[in-house]
């Protein structure tokens, strides 16, 4: 059976997930077999170096419910998700999960009920994470910082795991920003949104593909794309610096002309020079983060390059435009 117009597209990016792949497919098949909805699954290979791509090819060529998108190299989780959203055919909604099964696909029914109640975005709220204390603390701290400094209302403890309506997906496809932070973009779009609490499972197999540097980059994309605070704090530090300098000048003039005392304080002066030199370097770094994003955006390069798409039991030949597809 070939799915022409699926109601729901389940999107799952994969990178070196050979160990968890059989469990993922088994659970997705169970969801599709028990659901009254017409469902397709969009799997995105983000340049895997193991046998993930081969397993995806075999699956797509034997099961028409699966559509597989193969990127030309590893672009990162957010770009892979963007490729999946662009490729999805779901006419009603898109259900976004992680391929490591930390996001249970069985919650589709509960999320879809909220969609039927009129919500365009149903996002998952992690009430418990089965991870080490350092990651739990880091994630909790980051979400609370983002909540306090962002100019959009970002829900606490909510990641990419969500169900979004077709019109939200269409808006996401029209947003061309290179440094993507999809959960922030989803909040910026608006419409009716609601959270559903769940317990985030541990990885079913293998190691996490998100290194510390990748998490840091994701956090930077969130902070610098959805907050004016970094650039404004430079102004505030500058005002504070000028105020401190004026107070020091007044103190020096009083000692010199009223008390006829020779101003002392070489150590204090050296401290302030080193302190404010450091502040200037931090300020340049913050400005550089914005300039770097402008630089990459101004290049106008495609967000990703699709190597191949397999859907409905046929390999789809790509036109030159599709080969350098950009959102």
> Is 1 part of any domain?
no
Residue 9 confidence (pLDDT)? 92
Q: If you search the block for the tokens 């994630």, which residue do you land on?
A: 139
Report d(CA 101, CA 2) in Å as an integer: 26
Residue 99: name the closest of 223, 34, 32, 11 by CA: 11
Q: Secondary structure of the chain in the HEC alphabet?
A: CCCCCCCEEEEEEECCCCCCHHHHHHHHHHHHHHCCCCEEEEEEECCCCCCHHHHHHHHHHHCCCEEEEEECCCCCHHHHHHHHHHHCCCCCEEEECCCCCCCCHHHHHHHHHHHHCCCCEEEEEEEEECCCHHHHHHHHHHHHHHHHHECCCCCCCEEEEEEEEHHHHHHHHCCCCCCCCHHHHHHHHCCCEEEEEEEECCCCCCCCCCCHHHHHHHHHHHHHHCECHHHHHHHHHHHHHHHHHHHHHHHHHHHHHCCCCCCCCHHHHHHHHHHHHHHHHHHHHHHHHHHHHHHHHHHCCCCCCEEEEEECCEEECCCHHHHCCCC
**Are residue 249 and residue 189 in the same domain, yes or no?**
no
Expressed as residue numbers, the domain containing 149 is 8-227+302-323
> Is 3 part of any domain?
no
Residue 198 confidence (pLDDT)? 80
How many CA atoms are closer than 13 Å to the CA of 110, on its beta-carbon side? 12
Compute the Cα dihedral for 302, 308, 312, 315 and give only its sign.
Answer: positive
Whether residue 163 contacts residue 85, with contact meaning beta carbons closer than 8 Å, is answered with no
> Is 155 part of any domain?
yes
**Are residue 103 and residue 249 in the same domain, yes or no?**
no
**Are residue 178 and residue 108 in the same domain, yes or no?**
yes
Whether residue 101 contacts residue 24, with contact meaning beta carbons closer than 8 Å, is answered with yes
**Are residue 44 and residue 124 in the same domain, yes or no?**
yes
Q: If you search the block for the tokens 């699926």, which residue do you land on?
A: 6
**Are residue 116 and residue 236 in the same domain, yes or no?**
no
216, with CB counted inside 10 A (0-12, 13-18, 19+), is exposed
Number of domains in the chain: 2
**Are residue 142 and residue 39 in the same domain, yes or no?**
yes
Residue 186: name the closest of 135, 201, 129, 194 by CA: 194
The one-digit pLDDT tens for each residue of the chain (327 residues) are: 444 578 899 999 998 888 888 999 999 999 898 888 888 999 999 888 888 889 998 888 888 889 999 998 888 888 899 999 998 888 889 999 988 888 888 889 889 999 989 899 998 887 766 666 666 677 777 777 777 777 777 777 778 888 999 999 999 888 888 888 888 888 888 888 888 888 776 655 556 555 566 667 777 676 777 777 777 777 787 777 777 777 777 877 787 777 767 666 666 677 777 777 777 788 888 888 888 878 877 877 888 888 888 876 444 444 433 444 444
Residue 318 confidence (pLDDT)? 44
**Are residue 137 and residue 253 in the same domain, yes or no?**
no
Residue 112 confidence (pLDDT)? 92
Whether residue 48 contacts residue 14, with contact meaning beta carbons closer than 8 Å, is answered with yes
**Are residue 186 and residue 292 in the same domain, yes or no?**
no
> Is 184 part of any domain?
yes
Residue 85 confidence (pLDDT)? 92
**Are residue 254 and residue 270 in the same domain, yes or no?**
yes
**Are residue 137 and residue 114 in the same domain, yes or no?**
yes
Instruction: Using alpha carbons, list the distances in angstroms from residue 64 to 8, 13, 29, 42, 216.
Output: 14, 18, 12, 11, 38
Q: Enter the pTM of the model.
A: 0.73
**Are residue 184 and residue 44 in the same domain, yes or no?**
yes
> Is 2 part of any domain?
no
Q: If you search the block for the tokens 């959960």, which residue do you land on?
A: 183
Residue 103: name the closest of 84, 140, 85, 130 by CA: 130
Report d(CA 259, CA 244) in Å as an integer: 21
CA angle 139, 84, 193 (to 5 degrees): 55
**The domain spanning residue 153 has which CATH number?**
3.90.550.10
Return the structure tokens found at 65: 């419910």
**Are residue 233 and residue 110 in the same domain, yes or no?**
no
> Is 175 part of any domain?
yes
């Amino acid at each position: 059976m070939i799915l022409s117009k699926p109601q729901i597209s389940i999107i799952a990016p994969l990178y070196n997930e050979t160990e968890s792949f059989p469990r993922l497919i088994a659970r997705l098949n169970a969801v599709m077999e028990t659901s009254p909805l017409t469902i397709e699954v969009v799997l995105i290979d983000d340049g895997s170096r193991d046998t993930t791509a081969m397993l995806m090819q075999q699956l797509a060529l034997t099961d028409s419910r699966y559509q597989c998108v193969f990127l030309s190299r590893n672009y990162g989780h957010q770009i892979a998700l963007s490729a999946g959203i662009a490729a999805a055919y779901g006419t009603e909604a898109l259900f976004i999960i992680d391929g490591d099964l930390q996001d249970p696909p069985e919650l589709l029914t509960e999320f879809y009920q909220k969609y039927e109640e009129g919500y365009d975005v149903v996002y998952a709220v992690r009430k418990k994470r089965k991870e080490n204390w350092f990651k739990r603390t880091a994630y909790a701290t980051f979400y609370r910082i983002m909540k306090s400094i962002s100019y959009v209302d970002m829900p606490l403890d909510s990641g990419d795991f969500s169900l979004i309506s077709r019109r939200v997906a269409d808006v996401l496809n029209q947003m061309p920003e290179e440094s993507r932070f999809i959960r922030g973009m989803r909040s910026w779009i608006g419409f009716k949104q609601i959270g559903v609490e769940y317990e985030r499972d541990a990885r079913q197999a293998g190691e996490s593909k998100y290194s510390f540097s990748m998490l840091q980059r994701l956090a930077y994309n969130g902070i610098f794309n959805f907050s004016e605070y970094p650039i404004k704090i430079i102004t505030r530090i500058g005002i504070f610096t000028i105020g401190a300098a004026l107070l020091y000048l007044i103190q020096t003039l009083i000692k010199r002309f009223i008390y006829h005392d020779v101003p002392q304080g070489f150590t204090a002066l050296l401290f302030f020079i080193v302190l404010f030199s450091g502040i200037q370097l931090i300020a340049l770094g913050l400005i550089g983060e914005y300039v770097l994003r402008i630089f990459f955006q101004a290049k106008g390069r495609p967000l990703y390059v699709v190597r191949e798409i397999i859907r409905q039991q046929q390999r789809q030949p790509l036109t030159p435009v599709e080969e350098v597809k950009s959102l």
